Structure 1
Amino acid sequence: MTHFPLKYLRYVVAYVFIVSGLMKLISSELGDFFIQLGLPFPEITLYVVAFTEIIAGILLLFNIATKLATIPLMAIMIAALIITKIPILSTDFIQFLFEARLDITMFVLLIILYKWATE
């Protein structure tokens, strides 16, 4: 019974990343956003991040290599915080807290999944 909620946590986290990855592939707005970030090779980066989110999300969904699947997703969340949220700190701390809330939440959920994964 201890791992009962963990199954649903996997489903929710998988849902977020699968949808996020799919949106990166079909939304021109997200493509434009990636280009504006100033990352090297923004189009390739977009596809790598999108496919990583989709593949890792599917692995989480079906409880396959759960511990392994959380690692690249944690890296994506850390990068998202550093690249898109930390710059907000220089101008508005409260705005940073608001903008970073979901990234931080997803990162913590990934840590929980990593810690409790049976693999």
Structure 2
Amino acid sequence: TSAYPLYAGLRSAIALQHEWGTIEERYAEICRLSKYLWQHLSEISHVECLRTSSPEAGLVSFRLTNGMPHKQLVDLLEKQGIMVRTILNPDCVRACVHYFTTEAEIDKLVGEIAIQLV
């Protein structure tokens, strides 16, 4: 049987996606925000981005070079309402942005990382 209430939710979700723009516009925004995050992370002492150029998608991975365990940073950020995750191979932290992520949210992430590494 079909779950018609779920169909209504799906239609609403698809309509919301279209309000953000075309597929190309949404992808361009993801790339712009990834670059924004990558650039700002690259400026933090004791943070090493895994890529040498900005990502082509919404995933930005980085390592800590001050000896702090990645899990410790992830746990501290979670207490601030910021969700990132550890990756085991390669050992790093991964942040994810989407087209609906705001620059203010990225600034909060970067700021909290900088505070934790002082």
TM over 0.5: no
What is the TM-score normalised by the length of structure 2? 0.30
Larger Rg: 2
What is the TM-score normalised by the length of structure 1? 0.30
Structure showing the higher helix proportion among its residues: 1
Structure showing the higher strand proportion among its residues: 2
Greater RCO, CA 8 A, separation 6+: 1
